[in-house]
Amino acid sequence: MKHLKIGIATDHGAFLHKEALKAHLTFQGYDVVDFGCFDESSVDYPDTIYPCALAVASQEVDAGIIFCGTGIGASIVANKVKGIRCALIHNQWLAQVTKEHNNSNMIAMGGRVVDIPLALECADIWLKTSFSFDERHQKRIDKVSALED
């Protein structure tokens, strides 16, 4: 089985979440590429999130998990990159359904919205869930992709 390479990024609003996720994913055998930030000093989320989204879009990494204080800014930035389908999630059901229905290649969470144990659980669910390959969902994904052209 291929070892997935996961890009992670945050701003200062969820630095501790990113660090916990990095340790958690590494322990599980994932290859983790950390796009920052690297301490709790204030940083603008586009500076860390955008490079991570570019890496997902170019397939330098297989998937991305990103954070900021709310997750909103992070998801907006990621979705500016062609080919990215980043879902803002805050519970286990959303983690599952965004992969099954939207085949999301990134998820965003808010460090001020979800606690660390929930963030780790959501990441696990999302990474272990597969796209449904349901024709109706694929048709919708294709329509979204066509909007980028």
How many Å apart are CA 35 and CA 64, to the nearest integer? 10
pLDDT at 20 over 50: yes
Q: What is the pLDDT of residues 111-148, one digit of tens each?
A: 999 999 999 999 999 999 999 999 999 999 999 999 99
Q: What would the two tokens of residue 20 be?
A: 């916990």
Residue 43 φ/ψ, nearest 5 degrees:
-145, 150
pLDDT at 2 over 80: no
**Mean pLDDT, the chain, as a whole number?**
96
**pTM to 2 decimal places:** 0.96
Q: Measured over all CA atoms, what is the biggest interatomic distance in the chain, rounded to whole angstroms?
A: 45
68 is catalytic: yes
Q: Which one from 17, 37, 52, 68 is the annotated catalytic residue?
A: 68
Domain that holds residue 109: 5-147
101 is catalytic: yes
Q: What is the pLDDT of residues 78-107, one digit of tens each?
A: 999 999 999 999 999 999 999 999 999 999
How many Å apart are CA 20 and CA 96, to the nearest integer? 21
The CATH number assigned to the domain holding 32 equals 3.40.1400.10
How many Å apart are CA 122 and CA 94, to the nearest integer? 8
Q: What would the two tokens of residue 118 be?
A: 């929930």
